[in-house]
Amino acid sequence: MLGSKAATDMCRIAAYTGPEIPLENIIVRPAHSLLEQSQHATEAKLAVNGDGFGISWYGADTAPGLYRDVLPAWADENLTNLCRMVHSRLFIAHIRASTVGETSRANCHPFKFGKWSFCHNGQIPHFKAIRRRMQAALPDHLFEVMQGTTDSEMIFYTLLANGLDADPVAAMHATLQQIGPDGTDGPIKLTCVFSDGQTLFAFRHASSGTAPSLYASGVLDNGGRALASEPLCGTAARWTAIPTDTICAMTVAGMNTLDAAVAA
Amino acid sequence: MLGSKAATDMCRIAAYTGPEIPLENIIVRPAHSLLEQSQHATEAKLAVNGDGFGISWYGADTAPGLYRDVLPAWADENLTNLCRMVHSRLFIAHIRASTVGETSRANCHPFKFGKWSFCHNGQIPHFKAIRRRMQAALPDHLFEVMQGTTDSEMIFYTLLANGLDADPVAAMHATLQQIGPDGTDGPIKLTCVFSDGQTLFAFRHASSGTAPSLYASGVLDNGGRALASEPLCGTAARWTAIPTDTICAMTVAGMNTLDAAVAA
Amino acid sequence: MLGSKAATDMCRIAAYTGPEIPLENIIVRPAHSLLEQSQHATEAKLAVNGDGFGISWYGADTAPGLYRDVLPAWADENLTNLCRMVHSRLFIAHIRASTVGETSRANCHPFKFGKWSFCHNGQIPHFKAIRRRMQAALPDHLFEVMQGTTDSEMIFYTLLANGLDADPVAAMHATLQQIGPDGTDGPIKLTCVFSDGQTLFAFRHASSGTAPSLYASGVLDNGGRALASEPLCGTAARWTAIPTDTICAMTVAGMNTLDAAVAA
Amino acid sequence: MLGSKAATDMCRIAAYTGPEIPLENIIVRPAHSLLEQSQHATEAKLAVNGDGFGISWYGADTAPGLYRDVLPAWADENLTNLCRMVHSRLFIAHIRASTVGETSRANCHPFKFGKWSFCHNGQIPHFKAIRRRMQAALPDHLFEVMQGTTDSEMIFYTLLANGLDADPVAAMHATLQQIGPDGTDGPIKLTCVFSDGQTLFAFRHASSGTAPSLYASGVLDNGGRALASEPLCGTAARWTAIPTDTICAMTVAGMNTLDAAVAA
């Protein structure tokens, strides 16, 4: 719509695992909460993060709950009520900023399939050139349920097709291979957070330059742990940057990197 | 918008109290669930119930959760996810049908204030003539938080102003007095369900003719109890019509009518 | 969402060409207008048509205007204002009813591409089985701009790929060939209205049984002509059913069927 | 919602009168258009203007068209289509930013009543204290049609009650009298643009400090004139700040200030 802009997509992510807490303890209450970041991000390329948001959360069911909407997060009373009332032991929240394309729920993160939910911050600048190929590579049961048109959703379904269930490292490696080298439109940037309901996985990658920021907290006041695009103040834990090109696995017991590096 | 229509407002209500259950057990799953009723109501004046919906539910907090939206219920994936994931010991759901006025979240039921939530099915046909008077009678702290323009919301805030906390029967009696006799536009019809988080209250009234339907279940399979505009099939309980002009109080322990009749 | 329902999609269409008139003269004002039909359709399978709507209209530009939203038409003040203020010499309006899938703007009709706009009432019951094949057959420039997931949008882009510009009859014939015979899920039903800004084209087809209804008016009071799923009362013209398996071309000068039958 | 924020409300306004042009020539195309300003306002207190927008425009009817929505302007394909297709000789556009309250269409500007449309940038910090009094002072026919809860809408209806039709200067003077002196919450700031379909009126006022910015263009390339919160580049006209405390009346013939100063 504003054609002179580059196709940037700088989003904000926050995720948590630990003892059950109301979602708002991460999303709304910290001094530098996700909601706050959506209006005054200090590390993002755009100051505006108003193109939709979403939350996936895990409870008794295997499948996560999912709540997504296109209204800017800060205008949505449903969201603040949900964050106050819903308690969860593992959840992912995402606020989307995009200067290209129309906002639709189908393009809001997280995406979910079965027990998995996934969100992404970054971009494949040459996505247009590889979209048909990636889509053709999906098995029918994944092809049929894709609803949107973003590179983010394609990355998620390609990870699933590549065996995310069995081996996240191998699935991520194969997915990066399918994305291929960056073109002339700029570097591939891919910071993502995903979960099977037991573990929070985090991954950062840039084909050149810096991958979008993502930090892991130490042990929080309540014994839990968190991931966030920018450290959430007021949660009493030291934050460390997620390393690139290796999948980090966070559980309430701790955080470790999966054995192999993803990108050879 | 469709000016030749009378100002009817035929909504569907469902409510529950008992052991914690997912909201969907009442709202989505029964053969004649609230969602189903929104498309194929058999006792409603309009077959279409697509002008918004809402849910209030109680958990650990004193204040209920609230989720309202203007999209027709059957198109909202957020709602079905919420109903699957959120478990509650007491909740109220409402689907709105209106042939007059524009749809807005502020006019969707339930309304909430403090620990109370409230929904309504019916109408005050002469509301236009008494709205200023009723609004003027509200104390400041209630006047200031009203957001919409409906008779339903006014009834709720007037009940609160009339001491709903201390004596629901007296509050309802005083509120009906303030509404006054019906005018030439037709009878006052008022079927409402409300709660303080401990008890589900139900009330039906018509200045003449029949009040909008409302039924109480007996003890459900799981030991809980429900209220509904139309009996929800598949919940194994005999349903009985709520009597008019008396407030029924339902808890998990049982249901009884409050001592005094409301309308002398 | 309501899994026990068949994948029906019974929509309402109205279109006009002739002297410039406010859109409301067709969409809102007639006794049996499109808005009225959305609440009380008499020939539709569903009485509820509340899953989104859209209008395409032509003016000085080659490309049509497009207005689509997911709210039920009767709740949208923007729509009634637009219909009152916008005057056009050729326009198409559509109200969507679907019992399957989530409502999104991208799935609302009409669809537009270049000078063309297109809307559809019907379904390809075996669409799931042929979607990948049809998508693979699209040239890049059409593949890239598809936004939704419906059979309707796929039919439109396939028509464009098959040379709609040069020969509508050949394009429709080729498209039906690509859709192929119906499967075990039921008959293909396809009633569509489309335009290049000069001519209104109409086409009805059913692989067996009856194609969704569509009528052409005679000359209206103002000298224009209209198409509608159900005759619009109060427009003083005799209405005749569009024949099946032949493309009808309506201009202000009159209506005729294109030479060749579409389905051999 | 974000309680620590002050109740600021810094919006962007653009308006035009002159030969019929597509709305986009003012709202979308200029280098520093309203859409552009909504993402990168340089003179506004907030960089984010994403809480709804609206347009009123005049054509053959006495009553203006009105289009308002709560989505951020830059995400709305309907808006860009509307701006491309709709031509008008006089229109007002507004993008709203608010850090308090929930976004609803009823609170989006412009507001309209009869032939008048009105939009506002600023705030009455002590509005809560005077709202009941101002509402009580409205005649029934205005009281009944108010839909929202903002100071802006109240200012508009109070202007109408005070005889805006007959004497804009007297109406504005009386309205400021009713608003009264500012309280301890900060200065009254009121920059508004309104029209009866013939003349664009502009007014700026601050009880202390600086009134929100508003500029008048000279004669544009096409012979028209414009008003804007920030000069719209690329429209070839010198821009001058609207003076405070006097109503400016702009027609295609020119711009002049109404005789009397508003605030004595």
Residue C263 confidence (pLDDT): 54
Higher pLDDT, C46 or B53: B53
| Residue located via tokens 């190929």 | A133
Can you read off the two tokens belonging to residue D203?
């007014």
Average the pLDDT over C233-251 and give the result: 87
* A61: chain B residues, CB-CB within 8 Å: 84-85
For residue range B54-90, what is the model confidence (pLDDT) as tens digits? 999 999 899 999 999 876 666 678 888 999 999 999 9
Average the pLDDT over D180-184 and give the result: 88
* D39: chain A residues, CB-CB within 8 Å: 2, 48, 99
User: How large a percentage of chain C has pLDDT more than 70?
Assistant: 81
C-alpha closest to that of D69 among A103, B48, B150: A103
Residue B38 confidence (pLDDT): 59
Residue A8 confidence (pLDDT): 40
User: How large a percentage of chain C has pLDDT more than 90?
Assistant: 59
Residue C45 confidence (pLDDT): 33
Q: What is the mean pLDDT of chain D?
A: 84
Q: What is the mean pLDDT of chain C?
A: 84
* C2: chain B residues, CB-CB within 8 Å: 35-36, 39, 74
Decide if pLDDT at C103 tops 90.
Answer: no
For residue range A208-228, what is the model confidence (pLDDT) as tens digits? 999 999 999 999 888 999 999
Tell me chain C's radius of gyration from C-alpha atoms.
17
Out of D48, D77, D80, name the one closest to residue A50 (CB): D48
Residue B196 confidence (pLDDT): 98
Residue A74 confidence (pLDDT): 60
Residue A70 confidence (pLDDT): 78
Kindly state whether D133 is in contact with chain B, defined as any CB-CB distance less than 8 angstroms.
Answer: no
* A106: chain C residues, CB-CB within 8 Å: 102, 104, 106
The answer to whether residue C140 sits within a structural domain is no
Higher pLDDT, B3 or B153: B153
Higher pLDDT, B215 or A183: B215
Taking a C-beta distance cutoff of 8 angstroms, is the pair B227, B13 a contact? yes
Residue C48 confidence (pLDDT): 45
Residue B102 confidence (pLDDT): 58
Decide if pLDDT at A7 tops 50.
Answer: no
φ and ψ of D159, to 5 deg: -60, -45
Contact D104 B105 (CB under 8 A): yes
Min mean pLDDT across B142-156, B218-232, C250-264, D242-256 is at C250-264
Would you put residue C263 in left (φ > 0), alpha (ψ -120 to 50) or beta? beta
The answer to whether residue B6 sits within a structural domain is no
For the CA atoms of A208, A214, A215, A220, what is the dihedral angle to 10 degrees?
-170
Kindly state whether D144 is in contact with chain C, defined as any CB-CB distance less than 8 angstroms.
Answer: no
Average the pLDDT over B10-21 and give the result: 90
Min mean pLDDT across A28-32, A119-123, C54-58, D97-101 is at D97-101
Taking a C-beta distance cutoff of 8 angstroms, is the pair C10, C213 a contact? no
Average the pLDDT over C25-29 and give the result: 82
Instruction: Compute the distance between CA of residue A143 and CA of residue A155 in angstroms, rounded to an integer.
Output: 12
Closest residue in chain A to residue B65, using alpha carbons only: A81
Which three-class secondary structure state does DSSP give residue C70?
Answer: coil
Instruction: Compute the distance between CA of residue A26 and CA of residue A34 in angstroms, rounded to an integer.
Output: 7
Which three-class secondary structure state does DSSP give residue D248?
Answer: strand
Other C-beta atoms lying within 10 Å of the C-beta of residue A235: 23
Interface predicted TM-score (ipTM): 0.84
Residue C258 confidence (pLDDT): 78
Hey, which chains touch A, using 3+ CB pairs under 8 Å?
B, C, D
Task: Please count the residue pairs, one from chain A and one from chain D, whose beta carbons lie less than 8 angstroms apart.
Answer: 53
Question: What's the residue count for chain C?
Answer: 264
Min mean pLDDT across A88-97, B95-104, C117-126 is at B95-104
Kindly state whether C67 is in contact with chain D, defined as any CB-CB distance less than 8 angstroms.
Answer: yes
The answer to whether residue B195 sits within a structural domain is yes
Higher pLDDT, C55 or B37: C55
Decide if pLDDT at B46 tops 50.
Answer: no
The answer to whether residue C163 sits within a structural domain is no
The answer to whether residue D68 sits within a structural domain is yes
Out of B35, B36, B47, name the one closest to residue C47 (CB): B47
The answer to whether residue D140 sits within a structural domain is no
Sign of the CA dihedral running A3, A8, A10, A11: positive
For chain C, the domain total comes to: 1
Out of C57, C65, C78, name the one closest to residue D67 (CB): C78
Hey, which chains touch B, using 3+ CB pairs under 8 Å?
A, C, D
Decide if pLDDT at A23 tops 90.
Answer: yes
Residue D260 confidence (pLDDT): 64
For residue range A131-161, what is the model confidence (pLDDT) as tens digits? 999 999 999 999 999 988 899 999 999 999 9
Contact A50 D50 (CB under 8 A): yes
Min mean pLDDT across A41-50, B81-90, B164-173, D118-127 is at A41-50
Kindly state whether C82 is in contact with chain D, defined as any CB-CB distance less than 8 angstroms.
Answer: yes
- Residue B119's identity, in one-letter code, is C
Instruction: Compute the distance between CA of residue B48 and CA of residue B31 in angstroms, rounded to an integer.
Output: 18
Residue B236 confidence (pLDDT): 66
For the domain that residue A16 is a member of, what is the CATH number? 3.60.20.10
Full-model pTM = 0.87
Average the pLDDT over D251-256 and give the result: 86
pLDDT band at C236 (very low <50, low <70, confident <90, very high): low
* D135: chain B residues, CB-CB within 8 Å: 135
Kindly state whether D140 is in contact with chain C, defined as any CB-CB distance less than 8 angstroms.
Answer: no
For residue range D26-63, what is the model confidence (pLDDT) as tens digits? 887 776 677 666 555 444 333 344 567 899 999 989 99
Average the pLDDT over C117-122 and give the result: 95
Taking a C-beta distance cutoff of 8 angstroms, is the pair D93, D16 a contact? no
Out of A66, A84, A85, name the one closest to residue B81 (CB): A66
Residue B53 confidence (pLDDT): 85
Identify the H or E element spanning A84: helix A77-85
The answer to whether residue C203 sits within a structural domain is yes
Residue C200 confidence (pLDDT): 97
Contact A36 D2 (CB under 8 A): yes
Domain extent for C218: 12-123+187-255
For residue D192, what are the CA distances in angstroms to A186, C232, D65, D123?
45, 43, 19, 11
Decide if pLDDT at A200 tops 70.
Answer: yes
The answer to whether residue B178 sits within a structural domain is no
For residue range A217-264, what is the model confidence (pLDDT) as tens digits? 999 888 999 999 988 876 667 899 999 999 999 998 888 887 666 754
For residue C221, what are the CA distances in angstroms to C158, C238, D57, D61, D163?
37, 11, 29, 21, 42
Can you read off the two tokens belonging to residue D238?
């010198």
Average the pLDDT over B181-203 and give the result: 94
Kindly state whether C1 is in contact with chain A, defined as any CB-CB distance less than 8 angstroms.
Answer: no
Average the pLDDT over A68-94 and give the result: 85
Residue D246 confidence (pLDDT): 93
For residue C75, what are the CA distances in angstroms to B2, B39, C57, C114?
10, 17, 21, 30
Sign of the CA dihedral running A179, A180, A181, A182: negative
Contact A75 D70 (CB under 8 A): yes
DSSP per-residue codes, B190-212 = EEEEEESSS-EEEEEEESSS-PP
Residue C30 confidence (pLDDT): 74
Non-local (6+) Cβ contacts of B253 within 8 A are none
Kindly state whether D75 is in contact with chain C, defined as any CB-CB distance less than 8 angstroms.
Answer: no
